[in-house]
């Protein structure tokens, strides 16, 4: 191979890497005010969240499809109201998914989170609910990879192990998943947190 060809290949690889890095950073919308950053891959930690305002769609049926089914009406909502996109997108799952032999169907709530509590939409479709969520403490595990439902169930199992090892904490609300990246981000780079709200026993 000629030196010029080798340099060209190296240049293409470096260029693609730079483009991918830029796309990854540019695609990450800002967090709501006061939100902590995503949990690092494989780590489990307690996190404090402030109160926040969300636009929510209720989705019934296959829980694996809930995030994608809720996305379109919520995107229309923020577009119609000229509301800036934030990350993460939240999906709250039924409490039954915390049990052994977790269910795969049920009612889920998919939410876009507003930047702060001062955002007030002017037009709200019938299938969208605007709700204020209270501050909370959660135990969170950081996941990387695709957004399949199997990743959620594996994260829940890890959190159940943490709760078993920390009996001073009890479950205080339905489990949820935070999706931080858009569909055009490669699966290997996608970030999500699986979380369970907790309180001291």
- Residue 12 pLDDT: 38
First-to-last CA distance in the chain?
Answer: 68
- Residue 1 pLDDT: 56
Q: Cα separation of 115 and 111, whole Å? A: 13
For residue 188, give Cα distances in angstroms to 15, 158, 168, 176, 183: 19, 20, 35, 21, 12
Q: Cα separation of 110 and 56, whole Å? A: 6
Domain residue extents for the chain: 1-30, 31-200
Cβ-based neighbour number of residue 13 at 10 Å: 10
Prediction pTM value: 0.84
Q: Cα separation of 154 and 194, whole Å? A: 9
- Residue 52: helix, strand or coil by DSSP? strand
- Residue 9 pLDDT: 47
- Residue 53: helix, strand or coil by DSSP? strand
**What architecture is the 31-200 domain classified under in CATH?**
Alpha-Beta Barrel (3.20)
Percent helix, strand and coil across the chain, each rounded to 5?
Answer: 35, 30, 35
From first to last of its 201 residues, the chain has per-residue pLDDT tens of: 555 454 444 343 433 443 343 334 334 589 999 999 999 999 999 999 999 999 999 999 999 999 999 999 999 999 999 999 999 999 999 999 998 666 899 999 999 999 999 999 999 999 999 999 999 999 999 999 999 999 999 999 999 999 999 999 999 999 999 999 988 899 989 999 999 999 999
The partner residues of 41 in beta bridges, in order of sequence, read 142
């Amino acid at each position: 191979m000629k030196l010029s060809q080798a340099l060209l290949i190296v240049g293409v690889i470096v260029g693609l890497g730079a483009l991918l890095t830029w796309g990854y950073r540019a695609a990450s919308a800002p967090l709501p005010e006061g939100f902590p950053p995503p949990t690092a891959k494989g780590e489990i930690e307690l996190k404090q969240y402030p109160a926040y305002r969300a636009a929510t769609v209720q989705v019934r049926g296959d829980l694996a499809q809930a995030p994608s089914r809720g996305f379109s009406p919520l995107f229309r909502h923020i577009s119609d109201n000229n509301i800036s996109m934030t990350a993460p997108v939240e999906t709250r799952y039924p409490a039954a998914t915390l049990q052994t032999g977790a269910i795969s169907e049920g009612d889920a709530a998919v939410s876009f989170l507003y930047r702060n509590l001062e955002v007030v939409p002017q037009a709200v479709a019938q299938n969208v609910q605007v709700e204020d969520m209270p501050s909370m403490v959660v135990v969170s595990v950081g996941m990387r990879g695709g957004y399949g439902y199997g990743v959620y169930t594996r994260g829940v199992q890890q959190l159940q192990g943490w709760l078993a090892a920390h009996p001073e904490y009890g479950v205080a609300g339905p489990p949820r998943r935070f999706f931080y990246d858009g569909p055009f981000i490669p699966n290997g780079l996608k970030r999500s947190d699986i979380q369970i709200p907790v309180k001291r026993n």
